[in-house]
Structure 1
Amino acid sequence: MSNNSSGLGNWDELPWENGNPCPPSVGGATLLIVAYSTVIAVGLVGNSCLVFIISRQKEMRNVTNILIANLSCSDILMCVVCLPVTVIYTLMDRWILGEALCKVTPFVQCMSVTVSVFSLVLIALERHQLIIHPTGWMPVAGHSYLAVAVTWMVACFISLPFLSFNILTDAPFRNLSIPFNPFSDHLICMELWPSERNRLAYTTSLLLFQYCLPLLLILLCYLRIFLRLRRRKDMVEQASDARQRKARSAQRINAMLVTIVVAFALCWLPLNVFNTLFDWYHEALPACQHDVIFSACHLTAMASTCVNPVVYGFLNSNFQKELKAMLKRCRCCWGVPESYESFPLSTVGTDVTKVSATHRDSLKGETGARI
């Protein structure tokens, strides 16, 4: 799920025009900059607000919210490090950012994606345990912090090969079949493995352990959750109003989390297909359209950084209320601070108004409407 292509194709076979192979259009470059800038802005602002609101109040620090915040942190890292570098490299068709970023950028991207998909797996497992075995062992916040630490360590270990095998080289610019070579001092950042077999083994393993197997496990978890909730439907219809509200809340939470997983899978599918095709049959990729196809696939994958705040936050009425309350308190810092409820982020459609401190304390004991 990482970019293992140099983006330059086979240089000896490219059509040359005024010393430049497949010159990019101004309109295409402008569209690329606008699209990536939009993704960066939405990803940074949305995920930062989500992490801030979750971390600001203790009652929001439950298992799933902590994992959601961890997912947002990995997306923020992607927006800060990987997206700007990708835009610069794609537009310039050469590397100008130094050897350190050449090694760090793919390492961070691989690590961030690994953390994201592992966080989604942990969320699915926690929901599965909560609904399938409601009277069994339940993870607490301390367990989620430990899981987050282990996730980052495992992701770091999986991504280490990029630090070793990404290099700066001028190999594609050597011995070009043109009268005058204006690219003699140009460099690109690319992977140089001990053997092609090693590279294919690693990239195929990434595809399996970063995408296919985690999503299969998530699918099985939510499928079992769906079947269990379906069996409970008749019982819930005859239950009290409180239990009905709790069941509806659980269904909304699960639907929201499934939407995040589906969006993540769809966003990363084109880039996975592109990288697999590049690894096993790169001749199928047209030379001059290589960068265009890669940019479209990569941009779609990077749009996954916006999924979390949009689905979990900005489509959640309580998140909007909490954000508005936070902004209002900032503006009213010179007056007497008002008392606002800590809105349960997971309750998608609950209408909650300002309440007294006593009522707010009583709400802390209700866990049915929270993740």
Structure 2
Amino acid sequence: MLNNSSASGKWSEVPWADGNLCPPSLSGTTFLIVAYSTVIAVGLVGNVCLVFIISRQKEMRNVTNILIANLSCSDILMCLVCLPVTVIYTLMDRWILGEALCKVTPFVQCMSVTVSIFSLVLIALERHQLIIHPTGWTPAAGHSYLAVAVTWMVACFISLPFLSFNILTNSPFQNLSIPFNPFSDHVICMELWPSERNRLAYTTSLLLFQYCLPLLLILLCYLRIFLRLRRRKDMLEQASEIRQRKARGAQRINAMLASIVVAFALCWLPLNIFNTLFDWYHQALPSCQHDIIFSACHLTAMASTCVNPVVYGFLNSNFQKELKNTLHRCRCWGTPESYESFPLSTVGMDVTKMSSMHRGSFATIAEHGIHS
């Protein structure tokens, strides 16, 4: 079977030898349809709700939430374009969606993954700036909109090769050594690079800049945050109840954001390993088991589209309350619940007040002066 076997949307060819085709089983096909449909439904509904609530509440439009919404937008794009196409292509064993989608689908998937990982990097950098350098420059909502725009432009640029090198071809079907070839009029969507060296250079660069290096930078940011909070643990134990409550809120926010990063990394790890093997040593992947392995890895990667709303929804009480209120207004469920909205980012006015009162202890309070 010919599949989308890249985290960035690369459509690749699996060897067809002596007409030894491996048709999918009925149970396997049913599982794929149900699993992908579930991921699409959860990803779409969850991320649309998250973006709607953040955009609806002015108090929630802070740097962290804007970047969270941007992450959800990239997941929505993945659910709308890439997942349905992947299901159809996987089950059909051939491409039936035309040349435009052959080029656009891998381009959109590469762009979506790039936006997602860059959003996670920006969130980690913002948390690092607020906690490690609380008296320094504080990013504002306007800066986050600019960062979002730059992120999408860079992601588009990185993904451009898929628009150029993805083509429709029937070559694998023409080469089947069987007496009667019923697949002669079938076509597949695959990459045709000027050289194998160019293809390997691009896919390896994607692995580094779209997965390994961003996650390493995120790890360093959260490690420094953890160490800083740990060093000030003794000071917090002697602090007032209000400051302790703020500290617990900050720790909960950092745990939520770190959980999103860890889940993203774990979801995409199997598919990145699969792609690396396919690019550098595809003989290690058996022909018949290729589809099963790919489907499992790809489905795990696509599950990352559900991580953001699930983790954010479970760990952010304000999001839960706002969702209940929204459903009540639609007369769908629940009763209205009053609450006070706290932004995820430090408020600039609080910084000014605390600087004038206790310059020496400002860093500790500003570091923890956020609520979920």
Normalising by the residue count of structure 1, what TM-score does the alignment of the two structures yield? 0.89
What residue ranges of structure 2 are gaps of 5+ in the alignment? 1-6, 346-367
**Separation in 2, partners of 1:29, 1:339:** 44
| Alignment match, 2:339 | 341
Note if contact 2:59-2:343 (Cα within 8 Å) is conserved in structure 1: no
**Counterpart contact for 1:321–1:343, Cα < 8 Å:** no
SS at match of 1:167: strand
Is the CA contact 2:55–2:61 (under 8 Å) kept in the aligned structure 1?
yes
Does 2:10 correspond to 1:10?
Answer: no
Structure 2 match to 1:47: 47
Report the equivalent of 2:4. Answer: none
- Inter-CA distance 237–342: structure 2 relative to 1 (3 Å threshold): closer
Counterpart code for 1:2: S
Q: Secondary structure at the match of 2:175?
A: coil
Residues 103-114 of structure 1: pairs in structure 2 closer than 5 A: 103-114=103-114
Q: List runs of 5+ in structure 1 lacking aligned partners.
A: 16-20, 348-366
Task: Tell me what 2:369 maps to.
Answer: 368
Q: Give the partner amino acid of 1:84.
A: P
Partner of 2:190, secondary structure, is strand
Structure-1 separation of matches of 2:262 and 2:131: 20
Deviations 1:224-253 (A, max 9, x none): 000000011100111111111111111110
Partner of 2:160 in structure 1? 160
Q: Residue 248 of structure 2 aligns with which residue?
A: 248
3-state DSSP of counterpart to 2:330: helix
Shift in Å at residue 267 of structure 1?
0.1
Q: State the alpha-carbon separation in 2 of the partners of residues 151 and 343 from structure 1.
A: 28
Question: Contact conserved, 1:3 with 1:275, CA < 8 A, in 2?
Answer: no
CA distance in structure 1 between the aligned counterparts of 2:178 and 2:244, rounded to whole angstroms:
74
1:36 positional shift:
0.2
Paired residues of 2:328 and 2:336 also in contact (CA < 8 A): no
Alignment partner of 2:183: what SS? coil
TM-score, structure 2 normalization: 0.89
Aligned residues: 342
Q: Which amino acid in the other structure matches residue 339 of structure 2?
A: E
In structure 2, distance between residues paired with 1:29 and 1:297 = 16
Q: Secondary structure at the match of 1:185?
A: coil
Shift of 1:318: 2.8
AA in 2 matched with 1:23: P
Match in the other structure for 2:189: 189
Distance 1:181 1:342 in 2: 68
SS at 2:41 equivalent: helix
Q: CA deviation at 1:193?
A: 0.1
Cα displacement string for residues 66-108 of structure 1 (whole angstroms, at most 9, x for unaligned residues): 0000000000000000000000000011000000000000000
Offset at 1:292?
1.0
Q: Residue 368 of structure 1 aligns to which amino acid in structure 2? A: G
TM-fit CA distance, 1:23: 1.2
| Equivalent residue number for residue 132 of structure 1 | 132
Maintained 8 Å contact 1:57/1:342? no
Structure 1 equivalent of residue 208 of structure 2: 208
The reply to whether residue 100 of structure 1 matches residue 100 of structure 2 is yes
Kept in 1: contact 2:18–2:178 (CA 8 A): no
- Distance (Å, rounded) in 1 between the aligned partners of 2:11 and 2:280: 12
For 2:99, the aligned partner's letter is E
C-alpha contact 2:19 2:178 (8 A) present in aligned 1: no
How far apart are 1:344 and its partner, in Å?
3.9
Between the aligned partners of 1:305 and 1:154, the Cα distance in structure 2 is: 21
Post-superposition offset of 1:338: 7.1
Distance 2:103 2:261 in 1: 29
Q: Provide the aligned C-alpha RMSD in A.
A: 1.8
**Once the 2 structures are TM-superposed, how far is the Cα of residue 345 of structure 1 from its aligned partner?**
7.5
Secondary structure of the structure 2 residue equivalent to 1:190: strand
Distance 1:345 1:266, change over 3 A: farther
Q: Secondary structure at the residue paired with 1:12?
A: coil
Q: Does 1:177 align with 2:183?
A: no
1:32-63 deviations in Å (ceiling 9; x for gaps) = 00000000000000000000000001110000
SS of residue paired to 1:189: strand
- Distance in 2 (alpha carbons) for counterparts of 1:85 and 1:95: 9
Deviations 1:111-149 (A, max 9, x none): 000000000000000000000000000000000000000
User: Do 2:256 and 2:311's aligned partners in 1 also have CA atoms closer than 8 Å?
Assistant: yes
Is 1:4–1:275's contact at 8 Å kept on the other side of the alignment?
A: no
Identity %: 85
CA gap 1:22/1:158 in 2 versus in 1, 3 angstroms? same
